[in-house]
Amino acid sequence: MLQLILGGARSGKSRLAEKLAAESALAVIYIATSQPLDGEMNERVRHHRERRPGHWALVEEPLELARVLRDNAGAETFLLVDCLTLWLTNLLMLEDPQRLDAERDALLACLAELPGEIVFVSNETGMGVVPLGELTRRYVDEAGWLHQALAERCQRVVLTVAGLPLTLKGTAL
């Protein structure tokens, strides 16, 4: 089953994904896309690490998400990807503008063939004002298009607000 959990900052989306992983009775692999490049991000990463069970495997991959999913997906495995918008940001910051298209296309192409449970966590950024600046507008556009494409392919899509899940597609939580 493919699931997409969307929400704003501190909405409870990661906590919900971790709860689903813990309740799955499958081997969990946490796929982290962040690159902790400053003190604030280091603190966020530390907080996430402390919350996760020690027996969960961890794969840190900021760019090649499709490859990591193919390498780690299995019938008895629960992959938790946190988060897609950090992955998108990493790709947007590269010098090669074609890399984002290639990695996004690879991700979308591999989803149908992946076994097991996969949950994607991502920030819903399209519900506010139109941001100033070309890069920020491109980020919001790319995130929105990615979310739409993933939502088409996922069996369940959930929006979290104030820690509460609202099921947009699939069976309710």
CA distance from start to end of the chain: 14
Q: What is the CATH number of the domain that holds 88?
A: 3.40.50.300
CA–CA distance, 126 with 143 (Å, rounded to integer): 8
Give the total number of structural domains in the chain. Answer: 1
The pTM of the full predicted model, rounded to 2 decimals, is: 0.94
Catalytic residue among 47, 48, 55, 147: 48
Condensed to tens digits (0 to 9), the pLDDT of residues 113-136 reads 999 999 999 999 888 777 789 999
Condensed to tens digits (0 to 9), the pLDDT of residues 80-112 reads 999 999 999 999 999 998 999 999 999 999 999
- Name residues whose C-beta falls within 8 Å of residue 25's C-beta, 6 or more positions apart in sequence: none
Domain of residue 33 covers 2-169
| Residue numbering of the annotated binding site for GTP | 7-14, 32-34, 49-52, 60, 82
Condensed to tens digits (0 to 9), the pLDDT of residues 36-76 reads 777 777 787 777 778 889 999 999 999 999 999 999 999 99
Tell me if residue 48 is catalytic: yes
Torsion sign (Cα): 41, 142, 58, 37 = negative
Is the previous residue joined to 83 through a cis bond, with omega within 30 degrees of 0?
Answer: yes
Which H or E run contains 45? helix 39-51
